[in-house]
Chains A and B, each alone.
Chain A
């Protein structure tokens, strides 16, 4: 297959030029400037990509696909459809399923489902502790053999600091990244939104920024003490970022990701009590959001990940206090990244690195680059199109997006995974 005359942007190789890509047997065979002659045989498929932008396939290192156990919210197949439609070719799915992915048989079940779906690459994250109960370490080694790429306590953070220490050491033993959801649950208590003047005004119980920050501090201290890497997921406050910045400066092996919604929205989105904007961590203040945007520019933030968290309409129709936390995001991850480029003046190469090469390196997986010889995971977007997110475009089973009704610039037209076209925009 050939992709012809596209703007090719690959942060992994620092490439940004107009050229052609040759794909063969699921691998990138060549990437070359357009001036070079175009070989190839007539029977190969050619994508005329004039005016289009071509990126390495997007990697989303934080998503909930809900299977097994919560198939009414999402399953591996519908999650794959959403990923493909959003230009995401690799999805790391979290372990808080039912049963919890804390042993190789659950891992294998998810991978079987992914193969059945046959669309994008699904890489499970295993639980840190058995049943995510925070007491006994999970079978990290066996799960790694079965195919997990990270371990995470997302959804049910490890409370006991001594277990967190052992978990970091044990994960490092198997070369697994520990993705930590930082929340002191005693402090966040019954909170449902960011604690501050607005939560007091709206009469909603607050989640203090401190509930996140004390755990970010704890995890970086333990990481430093054990010399084991830790990845802080969905960082949402200025204070957390400050701690991470200082830790990095001291050479502590800490990395972090932020979500598109924390970068593009703040707590004022909650004036109408829209449960689609209820998530953990909660949308924070304008100042926090600004700090996160600065963190992108300064490079403290390593990755942007969606924290795709589908919930059924009936659940989101509940009272704000009662409705579950979470928002879907697989289909809006890349559009949000492009918005950061178009509207916030961040370099395309820079923002793309946060969803391609950086997560690939952190997870130690292939992909995330267009280097010849690597997986042919490719995302092609039309940068000239403006489109508005509506429920009928959402491929997920659940429609709980805080971006419904918002207009984005840049639309995915092709998603290629392992050399196969897994998504093609209607009419192309």
Chain B
């Protein structure tokens, strides 16, 4: 196998076979985390910089653990407010970072496209840990891994992604990846939260949640941000929950072996009730665990060798 990508910006840039390889290899990396010594020397002497321009607990932690278990050195920079809002360009900001001679920059950014531009400008690998409403490829890979772990495949599975599709980078990356692996995806949201031109994604779209529930193997709930109410994307939480929230009566209509996912963090009582998040159908916490294995795989692939262009 040859890995000829310098940057991981979008799931769209990965071939089906490449995604399958990542998911396959992640199982090997998962084993490392079960050892007493949870560390391999693979990336000794490599420097991984985590640049997080948006608050994140899980993704950042997950990447950091992944890098450390592979023996890479990590430097973590959380940039909030001050220097960023003054209009400092990302190029200015990364100039300091480049002095550390990083082998990889993992970036979470509030605006779409900046990781891609950065990847083009910098010699090191750039891994997109979420950019605006664009993509969050590592999240999608770990979601697909969690599905494959449960079902052994994605081919032919029916997957519903429910909620704020418009503002969700997780939904975009998952749609691209899941489709490549042969799953059938339905997006469920009120018309206001469906992206314009969503028909072009080659998925089914519905604003009516209940009728599709019995056919689904996976229901993935997306976080609904409260500020969307003020922006008139929906009326209020009470109404949202009635039409698009996952509660016990809806769970009962699911297939016996169907599962529930959520990229987190979830709003209890809005898109999902608390008891459901912890129910046996939920793989929400496996998702977190699998995140480390998938990210170790990615760091190994993107950092483990000379790049072939």
- In the complex they form, whether A and B have CB atoms below 8 Å apart is answered with yes
Pairs of residues from A and B, 6 with the lowest C-beta to C-beta distance, nearest first: A203-B134, A197-B197, A273-B113, A200-B195, A203-B112, A197-B200
Q: Decide: A197 near B113, CB < 8 A? Known: A318-B89, A322-B87.
A: no
- The interface size of chain A toward B, counting residues with CB under 8 Å, comes to 22
Q: What 1/0 flags go to B170-214 for Cβ under 8 Å of A?
A: 001000000000000000000000011111110000000000000
Known: A197-B200, A272-B117; 7 extra A-B contacts, CB below 8 A, are A197-B201, A200-B195, A201-B197, A317-B89, A319-B90, A319-B111, A321-B111
The reply on B247 being an interface residue by CB < 8 A is: no
Which parts of A190-226 form the interface with B (CB within 8 Å)?
195-206, 208
The reply on A342 being an interface residue by CB < 8 A is: no
Beta-carbon contact of A201 and B111 below 8 Å:
no
In the assembled complex, which residues on chain A have CB atoms less than 8 Å from the CB atom of B117?
A: 272-273, 320
Q: Decide: A203 near B200, CB < 8 A? Known: A317-B91, A320-B112, A320-B114.
A: no
Beta-carbon contact of B197 and A200 below 8 Å:
yes
Beta-carbon contact of A200 and B87 below 8 Å:
no
Q: Which of B91, B113, B120, B197 contacts A196 (CB 8 A)?
A: B197
A198–B200 CA distance with the chains assembled, in angstroms: 9
Tell me how many residue pairs across A and B have CB atoms closer than 8 Å: 75
Interface pairs (13), CB distance under 8 Å: A200-B200, A201-B200, A203-B132, A203-B133, A203-B172, A204-B112, A204-B132, A204-B134, A205-B133, A273-B116, A318-B90, A321-B111, A321-B132
In the assembled complex, which residues on chain B have CB atoms less than 8 Å from the CB atom of A322?
A: 87, 111
The reply on B60 being an interface residue by CB < 8 A is: no
The reply on A314 being an interface residue by CB < 8 A is: yes
Beta-carbon contact of B113 and A204 below 8 Å:
yes
Beta-carbon contact of A319 and B114 below 8 Å:
yes
In the assembled complex, which residues on chain B have CB atoms less than 8 Å from the CB atom of A320?
A: 111-114, 117
In the assembled complex, which residues on chain B have CB atoms less than 8 Å from the CB atom of A201?
A: 172, 197, 200-201
In the assembled complex, which residues on chain A have CB atoms less than 8 Å from the CB atom of B223?
A: none
Q: Which of B89, B112, B196, B198 contacts A202 (CB 8 A)?
A: B112
Beta-carbon contact of A198 and B197 below 8 Å:
yes
Beta-carbon contact of B113 and A202 below 8 Å:
yes
A106–B135 CA distance with the chains assembled, in angstroms: 47
The reply on B131 being an interface residue by CB < 8 A is: yes
In the assembled complex, which residues on chain B have CB atoms less than 8 Å from the CB atom of A273?
A: 112-114, 116-117
Q: Which of A197, A314, A317, A319 contacts B196 (CB 8 A)?
A: A197
The reply on B169 being an interface residue by CB < 8 A is: yes
A residues with CB within 8 A of B: 195-206, 208, 272-273, 314, 317-322
Which of A200, A204, A272, A317: most chain B Cβ within 10 A?
A: A200
Q: Decide: A318 near B87, CB < 8 A? Known: A195-B196, A202-B134, A203-B131.
A: yes
The smallest beta-carbon distance between A298 and chain B, in angstroms, is 28
In the assembled complex, which residues on chain B have CB atoms less than 8 Å from the CB atom of A319?
A: 90, 109, 111, 113-114
Beta-carbon contact of A200 and B113 below 8 Å:
no
B residues with CB within 8 A of A: 87, 89-91, 109-114, 116-117, 120, 131-135, 166, 169, 172, 195-201
In the assembled complex, which residues on chain B have CB atoms less than 8 Å from the CB atom of A314?
A: 89
The smallest beta-carbon distance between B233 and chain A, in angstroms, is 12
In the assembled complex, which residues on chain A have CB atoms less than 8 Å from the CB atom of B133?
A: 203-205
A201–B133 CA distance with the chains assembled, in angstroms: 9
A314–B87 CA distance with the chains assembled, in angstroms: 9
The closest CB in chain A to the CB of B133 belongs to A203
A64–B166 CA distance with the chains assembled, in angstroms: 35
A372–B90 CA distance with the chains assembled, in angstroms: 56
In the assembled complex, which residues on chain A have CB atoms less than 8 Å from the CB atom of B113?
A: 202-204, 273, 319-320
Beta-carbon contact of A199 and B196 below 8 Å:
yes
In the assembled complex, which residues on chain B have CB atoms less than 8 Å from the CB atom of A208?
A: 196
The smallest beta-carbon distance between A282 and chain B, in angstroms, is 13
The closest CB in chain B to the CB of A274 belongs to B117
A245–B166 CA distance with the chains assembled, in angstroms: 35
A200–B196 CA distance with the chains assembled, in angstroms: 6
A152–B169 CA distance with the chains assembled, in angstroms: 40
Beta-carbon contact of A197 and B199 below 8 Å:
yes
The smallest beta-carbon distance between B98 and chain A, in angstroms, is 15
The closest CB in chain B to the CB of A205 belongs to B133
A312–B153 CA distance with the chains assembled, in angstroms: 51
The smallest beta-carbon distance between B47 and chain A, in angstroms, is 25
A317–B109 CA distance with the chains assembled, in angstroms: 15
A359–B220 CA distance with the chains assembled, in angstroms: 57
A199–B132 CA distance with the chains assembled, in angstroms: 12
A201–B132 CA distance with the chains assembled, in angstroms: 12
The closest CB in chain B to the CB of A316 belongs to B89
Which of A202, A318, A319: most chain B Cβ within 10 A?
A: A319
The smallest beta-carbon distance between A97 and chain B, in angstroms, is 21
A267–B242 CA distance with the chains assembled, in angstroms: 39
Q: Which of B87, B169, B196, B201 contacts A203 (CB 8 A)?
A: B169
The smallest beta-carbon distance between A255 and chain B, in angstroms, is 31
A131–B196 CA distance with the chains assembled, in angstroms: 36
The smallest beta-carbon distance between B280 and chain A, in angstroms, is 35
The closest CB in chain A to the CB of B87 belongs to A318
A315–B114 CA distance with the chains assembled, in angstroms: 14
Beta-carbon contact of B116 and A272 below 8 Å:
yes
In the assembled complex, which residues on chain A have CB atoms less than 8 Å from the CB atom of B196?
A: 195-197, 199-200, 206, 208
In the assembled complex, which residues on chain B have CB atoms less than 8 Å from the CB atom of A198?
A: 197
The smallest beta-carbon distance between A271 and chain B, in angstroms, is 9
Which of B89, B110, B166, B201: most chain A Cβ within 10 A?
A: B89
In the assembled complex, which residues on chain A have CB atoms less than 8 Å from the CB atom of B199?
A: 197
